[in-house]
């Protein structure tokens, strides 16, 4: 067992765990933030995506032992607040993206990072960047639209018509 | 739930009912920024006008969602049906989940049944409660109910500014008899049903606050994971947990019991303080299993061999219109083909999991992502041999399910583990266990035969071949019976193609590979054979496949309207560029017809999917945007089932262990999608599944139109078509 001082969503957490425990389980079971999800455990589905110093990482495959003291971790709970959603979250609501919603924390964390890197991403850039995030419910088309909407580059179709 | 039973219920439950247990019942409550999940506390005493409508003195209106939400939108759908007739706005209500008690009627999400099954009963529940509130207000004003008007959660005296809120009326209203035939609104007066409304559960699904089954925390709970026999049915001979027990945080390694379809086997569980410790330790357990002859029989190669052998023999007759065999033998222009679909995993991103607490006093609580709390209640009672009033089921949000979580083997394991360790236990299957144990969508064959007459398609025979879900799970199928689920879907009554001669048969192929319903059940298999073959026959007859279907459906007006819509869409689209082709297909399931058109384009040695257009006729619906969302999801899952690898078994175990081996569609593969809803006032049909079946055959037909090569076997390798 070792002691880790983690900075998650600008809060400091002191936890005791094994060095090989993936960040995902520390976040979920030790810190108690359940928004970050387990889907595969082998960096294949993206459900566990969080930011490490702003970069998206698969927390299921990141052992606590490799995280440096100064590094900042951001989870889905840390990008907006209940009162004020992040622009990406807002776009997700506008496009009514989630179905079951289980993959969406990871999708949103990837999308936030994508938009930080490419403020007005092309469809190809979206495809490349978001390809590691599975959605079994099949919300990809809406995710694409929501990313365009959040980037401001979109001319979103009117909602509520068919 | 009928209205008369509401009346009995009302008497039984008297006027007051207690909602939930302390802090554990999760609901959705409106607040300024939308809706959020809330806890309803023990002292929240509401008046129950009927099981679905509870109103407290402050006017808080609680509606009960009786159908677990796995992403299909039942939280919104169920409560919209009630709210519409009750005359409350969706932002005025809070929502709780039913707990399996009989007073809520059937509570299983499945078979795309929620809206089509509850369309009238839930509206009547809302309307009956409204009438009681209006009569109470009229009584207080000494006037007739006709002089009062209910809206936005209050009753108004027409022509005045007098008003009672529902909260002020509820206690007295509950003393009245429940009207047997409350008047339902004319659809033209609907404010909620059929209209675009944002889903109230969505804000919580974008900020990480939505609580799924896997997220439930119960004080004092331990975490568990399970190791099953890789051969599913293998017998546990021995195991060594020495290394596993040395992992920090591990408490116990014990045996448990796994239910697979049609039987039970022993499994090993690791109990720990956190899930990672359990998972890590589970990989250090060494176990010996006696697989018997499963090494040979649990094998997809063997299954398909048996299936093709069955295709060479006649099946059990399910439906016969004219003497197909005689006609086929005597005809010159005829066709025969065998179509194949693979085994598939449900592969919901949330693995199966359950939290259970078997308490010292013999009572039990279960928190789980299950598709039906009533089923969960019954199975828990049976499993433990206790009365249902000792059991509290807390259904949780499901992180996808597609049928899988309606098979509650995982829940029983959690109960067994809690019983053994005498503490609340959260069991989560690893992704590997989730993927390798199934149960799976069965692989099936369709042996299609057809006769072509003069410019028309004259006769169709469909021999459905494969393992039966009912047969495997409940041993409920005699050798002389056709599986009636499948027969229903392929019946002439269902597809409505007017073949003068029609024949349907079924050949069961037994296998120990565990199978289960999967989004759209057998329709996901047999639409592939039926709809590709209709195209094959049309081409042989020299007819355009759309025109051939119009001819076959000439007596089915609603279906014709879909084909006309499709023609209209094609006509108004720009001409297909060279190197592009389209294919179409249609299939009715769960009382809704869905047609699909897939456009593909040549790419190197194969093709890419450019666009999928779907049309759904589901009659009346709750929220058009959700109908679209479900249909989009069905497009993705339908394509995934057609172009991604299936599940295979060799040497007695599943070859695919995780998403790197069982691939599902990713973002870069998602084509442009367009969904059209047919607007009419017909009774509602299903929405969650019917969009899926036509997708694969529309793709197969597009591939033929692009390459002149007919694909018979799924999955198809889209990168290598020549
Ligand atoms: S759980 Fe980390 S990528 Fe799937
Ligand atoms: S919304 Fe269900 S997996 Fe993405």
Q: Are A26 and A40 spatial neighbours (Cβ–Cβ below 8 Å)?
A: no
Q: Which of B17-31, B367-381, B652-666 has the lowest mean pLDDT?
A: B17-31
The SS3 assignment for B427 reads strand
Q: Give me the pLDDT at residue B27, please.
A: 32
Q: Say which residue the tokens 């519409």 belong to.
A: B84
**Burial of residue B175 (number of CB atoms within 10 Å: 0-12, 13-18, 19+):** exposed
Longest dimension (CA), chain B: 82
The answer on B356 and B340 residing in a single domain is no
Q: In B, residues 404-463, which contact A (CB 8 Å cutoff)?
A: 428, 430-431
Cα separation, B189 vs B643, in Å, equals 45
* CA gap B461, B346 in Å, rounded: 30
In A1-30, the residues whose Cβ lies within 8 Å of chain B are: 1, 18, 20-22, 25-26, 28-30
Assess whether pLDDT exceeds 80 at residue B611.
yes
Q: How far is the CA of B261 from the centre of ligand 2 (A)?
A: 27
Answer yes or no: is B204 within a domain: no
Instruction: Report phi then psi at B543, rounded to 5.
Output: -110, 150
Cβ(B38)–Cβ(B60) below 8 Å: no
From CA B158, how far away is CA B149, in angstroms rounded? 6
Instruction: State whether B373 and B331 are in the same domain.
Output: no
- Closest listed residue to residue B257, CA positions, set B413, B106, B98: B413
Q: Which residues contact B542 (CB under 8 A, 6 or more apart)?
A: B455
How would you list the strands of the sheet with A72-74, edge to edge?
Answer: A11-17, A2-8, A72-74, A49-52, A55-58
| A155 — pLDDT class (breaks 50, 70, 90) | very low
Q: Which residues contact B454 (CB under 8 A, 6 or more apart)?
A: none
Determine contact: B675 vs chain A, CB below 8 A.
yes
Q: Evaluate whether B300 touches B652 at the Cβ level (below 8 Å).
A: no
Is the per-residue pLDDT at B60 higher than 70? Answer: yes
Q: Distance from A127 to chain B by nearest Cα, in Å?
A: 5
Domain stop point among B384, B399, B428: B428
Domain spanning A2-77, CATH architecture: Roll (3.10)
SS3 A142: helix
Average pLDDT, chain B: 92
For residue A42, how far is its CA from the centre of ligand 1 (angstroms)?
6
Token pair of B146 as six digits: 């006709």
What is the arithmetic mean of pLDDT over A85-113?
97
Task: Write the DSSP string, A64-82.
Answer: GGG--TT-EEE-GGGSS-S
- The more confidently predicted of residues B549 and B95 is B549
Question: Token digits for A52?
Answer: 């490490």
- What digits encode the pLDDT tens for the residues B696-713? 999 999 999 999 999 999
Task: Specify the pLDDT at position B586.
Answer: 98
pLDDT computed for residue A153 by the predictor:
56
Mean local confidence (pLDDT), B603-608: 97
| Residue A38, pLDDT score | 98
Q: How far is the CA of A41 from the centre of ligand 1 (A)?
A: 5
In chain B, pLDDT over 70 holds for what percent of residues? 94
Mutate to test the pocket of ligand 1, among A26, A41, A132 (most ligand atoms within 8 A of CB): A41
Q: Is the pLDDT of residue B429 over 60?
A: yes
Q: Residue A136 CA: which ligand 2 atom is closest?
A: 3
Is B632 within 8 Å of chain A by CB? yes
Rg for chain A (alpha carbons), in Å?
A: 16
- For residues B709 and A51, give the distance between their C-alpha atoms in angstroms, rounded to a whole number: 47
d(CA B689, CA B685): 10
Closest atom of ligand 1 to A46 CA is: 3
User: How far B131 CA lies from chain A's nearest CA (Å)?
Assistant: 31
DSSP one-letter string for B548-606? HHHHHTTT-HHHHHHHHHHHHHHHHSPPPPTTEEEEEEEEEETTEEEEEEEEEEEETTE
Q: Do B530 and B634 lie in a common domain?
A: yes
Which residues make beta-bridge pairs with B606? Answer: B603
Task: Say whether both B632 and B576 belong to one domain.
Answer: yes
Distance CA B409, CA B68 (A): 18
Query: Is residue B199 in a domain?
Result: no
Residue range B550-559, pLDDT digits in tens: 999 999 999 9
In a domain, B139, yes or no: yes
The predicted model scores a pTM of: 0.93
- For residue B400, list chain A residues with Cβ-Cβ distance below 8 A: 99-100, 102, 136-137
User: How many other C-beta atoms can be found within 10 angstroms of the C-beta atom of residue B414?
Assistant: 29
pLDDT band, very low/low/confident/very high, at B11 (cuts 50, 70, 90): very low
Instruction: Among the bound ligands, name the one nearest to the CA of residue A104.
Output: 2
ipTM of the modeled complex? 0.95
Chain A closest-CA separation from residue B274 CA (Å): 6
User: What is the rounded CA–CA span in Å between residue B121 and residue B104?
Assistant: 11
Cβ of residue B198 closer than 8 Å to a chain A Cβ:
yes
Residues B406 and B544 in one domain: no
Compute the distance between CA of residue B325 and CA of residue B334 in angstroms, rounded to an integer.
12
Ligand 1 in reach of A60 Cβ (< 6 A)? yes
B212, closest residue in chain A (CA to CA):
A102
- Would you state the pLDDT for residue B28? 34
Q: Where in chain A is the domain with CATH 1.10.150.120?
A: 87-151
Q: Tell me, yes or no, whether B416 and B486 share the same domain.
A: no
Q: Do B541 and B573 meet the contact criterion of CB atoms below 8 Å apart?
A: no
Q: What domain range is B631 assigned to? A: 300-344+440-707
Confidence of residue B83 (pLDDT cuts 50, 70, 90): very high
Give the three-class secondary structure for B484: helix
A134 lines ligand 2 (CB under 6 A): no
Which of these three, B428, B450, B472, is where a domain ends? B428
Q: Evaluate whether residue B721 is within a structural domain.
A: no
Q: Are residues B171 and B258 in the same domain?
A: no
Confidence band for B416, pLDDT divided at 50, 70 and 90: very high
User: Interhelix angle for B74-86 vs B114-141, to 10°?
Assistant: 30
**Cβ of A39 below 6 Å from ligand 1:** yes
Inside any domain, residue B434: no
Question: Which of these, B589, B564, B707, B660, lies nearest to B116 by C-alpha position?
Answer: B589
Buried b / exposed e across A87-108, counting CB within 10 Å, b at 16+?
ebbbbbbbbbbbbbbbbbbbbb
**Band of residue B13 on the pLDDT scale cut at 50, 70, 90:** very low
- C-alpha to C-alpha distance for B149 and B163, rounded to whole angstroms: 9
Give B293→chain A minimum CA distance, Å.
31
Q: CA B579 to CA B599: how far, in whole Å?
A: 11
**Residue B561: alpha-carbon gap to chain centroid:** 27
**pLDDT per residue as tens digits for the range B643-692:** 999 999 999 999 999 999 999 999 999 999 999 999 999 999 999 999 99
Is residue B380 in some structural domain? yes
B223 has pLDDT over 90:
yes
Q: Do B196 and A28 touch (CB under 8 A)?
A: no
- Of A129, A146, A119, the C-alpha closest to A49 is A129
Shared-domain flag, residues B407 and B449 = no
Report the distance separating Cα B704 and Cα B581, nearest Å: 9
CATH number at residue B459: 3.30.365.10
Q: List, for residues B25-44, the tens digit of each pLDDT value.
A: 223 333 333 333 333 333 34
Rounded average pLDDT over B323-340:
98
Q: Is residue B388 classed exposed, middle or buried when 0-12, 13-18 and 19+ CB atoms within 10 A define those classes?
A: middle
- Tell how far the Cα of A140 is from the centroid of ligand 2, in angstroms: 9
Residues facing B335 on adjacent strands:
B450
For chain A, say whether B552 makes contact (Cβ under 8 Å): no
Regarding whether B506 and B400 lie in a shared domain, the answer is no
User: Residue B514: which of B283, B268, B345 has the closest Cα?
Assistant: B345
Mean pLDDT of B372-401: 97
Q: Which of A74, A156, A98 is nearest to B626 (CA)?
A: A98
What is the topology classification, in CATH, of domain A87-151?
A: DNA polymerase; domain 1 (1.10.150)
Closest protein CA for atom 4 of ligand 2: A135
Asked which of B190, B208, B240 is the last residue of a domain, the reply is: B190
In a domain, B202, yes or no: no
Q: What is the pLDDT of residue A82?
A: 67
Q: Is residue B196 part of a domain?
A: no
Degrees (nearest 5) of the Cα angle B557, B559, B564? 90
Same domain for B98 and B179? yes
Count the domains in chain B.
3
Give the per-residue pLDDT at B58.
82
Model pLDDT for residues B435-446, shown as the tens digit of each residue: 999 999 999 999
Cβ atoms of B600 and B610 closer than 8 Å: yes
Q: Are residues B254 and B367 in the same domain?
A: yes
Shared domain check, B73 and B182: yes
How far away, in angstroms, is B276 Cα from ligand 1 center?
13
Residue B111 pLDDT grade (very low, low, confident, very high; cuts 50, 70, 90): confident
More confident residue, B326 or B95: B326
| Burial (0-12, 13-18, 19+ Cβ within 10 Å), B373 | buried
Burial class (CB within 10 angstroms; exposed 0-12, middle 13-18, buried 19+) of A81:
exposed
E strand or H helix at B75: helix B74-86
The tens digit of pLDDT for each residue in B291-315 reads 999 999 999 999 999 999 999 999 9
What pLDDT does B45 receive?
63
Is ligand 2 within 6 A of the CB of residue A135?
A: yes
Binding site membership of A78 for ligand 1 (Cβ less than 6 Å): no
First and final C-alpha spacing in chain B = 56
Inter-chain CB proximity B274 and A45 less than 8 Å: no
Return the sign of the alpha-carbon dihedral for residues B156, B157, B162, B163. Answer: negative
- The strand pairing partners of A6, in sequence order, are A13
């Amino acid at each position: 067992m070792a002691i880790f001082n983690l900075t998650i969503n600008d809060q400091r957490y002191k936890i005791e765990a094994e060095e090989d425990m993936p960040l995902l389980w520390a976040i979920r079971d030790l810190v108690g933030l359940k928004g970050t999800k387990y889907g595969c455990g082998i960096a294949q589905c993206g459900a566990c995506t969080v930011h490490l110093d702003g970069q998206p990482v698969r927390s299921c495959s990141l052992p606590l032992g490799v995280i440096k003291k100064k590094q900042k971790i951001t989870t889905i709970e840390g990008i907006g607040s209940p009162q004020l959603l992040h622009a990406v979250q807002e776009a997700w609501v506008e496009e009514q993206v989630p179905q079951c919603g289980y993959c969406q924390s990871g999708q949103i964390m990837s999308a936030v990072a994508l938009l930080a890197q490419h403020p007005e991403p092309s469809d190809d850039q979206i495809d490349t960047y978001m390809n590691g995030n599975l959605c079994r419910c099949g919300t990809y088309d809406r995710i694409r639209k929501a990313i365009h909407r959040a980037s401001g580059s979109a001319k979103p179709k009117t909602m509520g018509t068919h | 739930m009928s209205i008369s039973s509401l009346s009995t219920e009302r008497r039984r439950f008297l006027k007051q009912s207690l909602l939930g247990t302390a802090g554990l019942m999760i609901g959705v409550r409106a607040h300024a920024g939308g809706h959020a999940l809330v806890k309803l506390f023990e002292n929240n005493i509401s008046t129950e006008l009927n099981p679905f409508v509870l109103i407290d003195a402050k006017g808080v209106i609680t509606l009960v969602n009786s159908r677990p939400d796995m992403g299909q939108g039942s939280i919104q759908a169920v409560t919209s049906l009630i709210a519409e007739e009750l005359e409350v706005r969706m932002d005025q209500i809070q929502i709780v989940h039913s707990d399996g008690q009989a007073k809520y009627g059937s509570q299983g999400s499945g078979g795309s049944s929620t809206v089509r099954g509850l369309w009238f009963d839930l509206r009547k529940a809302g309307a009956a409660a409204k009438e009681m509130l209006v009569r109470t207000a009229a009584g207080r004003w000494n006037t007739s109910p006709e002089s009062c008007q209910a809206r936005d959660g209050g009753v108004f005296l027409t022509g005045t500014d007098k008003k009672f809120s529902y909260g002020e009326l509820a206690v007295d209203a509950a003393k009245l008899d429940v009207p047997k035939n409350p008047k339902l609104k004319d659809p033209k007066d609907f404010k909620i049903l059929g209209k675009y409304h944002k889903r109230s559960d969505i804000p919580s699904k974008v900020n990480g606050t939505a609580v799924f089954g896997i997220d439930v925390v119960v004080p004092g709970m331990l975490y568990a994971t399970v190791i099953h026999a890789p051969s599913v049915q293998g017998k546990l001979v021995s195991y060594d947990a020495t290394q596993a027990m040395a992992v920090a945080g591990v408490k116990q390694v014990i045996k448990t019991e796994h239910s697979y379809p049609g039987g039970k086997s022993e499994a090993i569980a690791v109990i720990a303080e956190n899930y990672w410790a359990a998972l890590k330790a589970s990989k250090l357990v060494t176990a010996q299993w006696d697989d018997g002859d499963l090494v040979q029989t649990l094998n997809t190669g063997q299954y398909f061999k048996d299936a093709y052998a069955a295709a060479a023999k006649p099946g059990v007759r399910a439906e016969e219109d004219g003497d197909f065999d005689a006609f086929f033998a005597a005809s010159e222009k005829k066709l025969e083909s065998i179509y194949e679909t693979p085994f598939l995993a449900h592969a919901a991103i949330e693995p199966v999991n359950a939290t259970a607490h078997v308490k010292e006093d013999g009572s039990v609580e279960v928190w789980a992502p299950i598709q039906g709390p009533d089923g969960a209640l019954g199975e828990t009672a049976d499993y433990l041999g206790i009365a249902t009033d000792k059991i509290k089921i807390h259904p949780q949000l499901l992180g996808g399910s597609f049928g899988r979580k309606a098979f509650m083997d995982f829940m029983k394991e959690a109960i067994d583990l809690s019983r053994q360790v005498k503490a609340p236990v959260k069991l989560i299957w690893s992704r590997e266990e989730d993927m390798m144990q199934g149960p799976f969508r069965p692989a099936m064959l369709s042996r299609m035969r057809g006769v072509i007459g003069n410019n028309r398609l004259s006769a169709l025979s469909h021999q459905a071949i494969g393992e039966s879900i009912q047969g495997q799970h409940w041993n409920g199928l005699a050798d002389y019976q056709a599986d009636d689920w499948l027969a229903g879907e392929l019946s002439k009554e269902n597809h409505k193609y007017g073949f003068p001669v029609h024949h349907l048969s079924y050949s069961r192929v037994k296998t120990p590979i565990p199978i289960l319903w999967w989004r759209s059940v057998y329709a996901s298999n047999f639409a592939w054979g039926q709809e590709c073959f209709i195209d094959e026959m049309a081409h042989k007859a020299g007819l355009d496949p759309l025109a051939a279907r119009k001819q076959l459906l000439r007596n089915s007006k609603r279906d014709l309207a879909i084909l006309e819509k499709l023609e209209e869409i094609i006509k108004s689209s720009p001409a297909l560029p060279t190197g592009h082709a389209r294919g179409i297909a249609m299939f009715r399931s769960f009382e809704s017809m869905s047609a699909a058109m897939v456009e593909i384009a040549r790419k190197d040695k194969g093709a890419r999917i450019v666009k999928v257009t779907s049309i759904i006729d589901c009659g009346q619906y709750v929220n058009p945007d959700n109908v679209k969302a479900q249909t989009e999801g069905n497009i993705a899952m339908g394509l995934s089932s057609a172009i991604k690898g299936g599940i295979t078994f060799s040497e007695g175990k599943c070859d695919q262990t995780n998403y790197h081996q069982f691939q599902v569609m990713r973002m870069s593969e998602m084509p442009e999608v367009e969904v059209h809803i047919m607007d009419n006032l017909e009774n509602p049909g299903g929405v969650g599944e019917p969009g899926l079946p036509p997708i694969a055959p529309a793709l197969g037909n597009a591939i033929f139109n692009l390459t002149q090569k007919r694909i018979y076997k799924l999955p198809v390798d889209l990168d290598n078509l020549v």
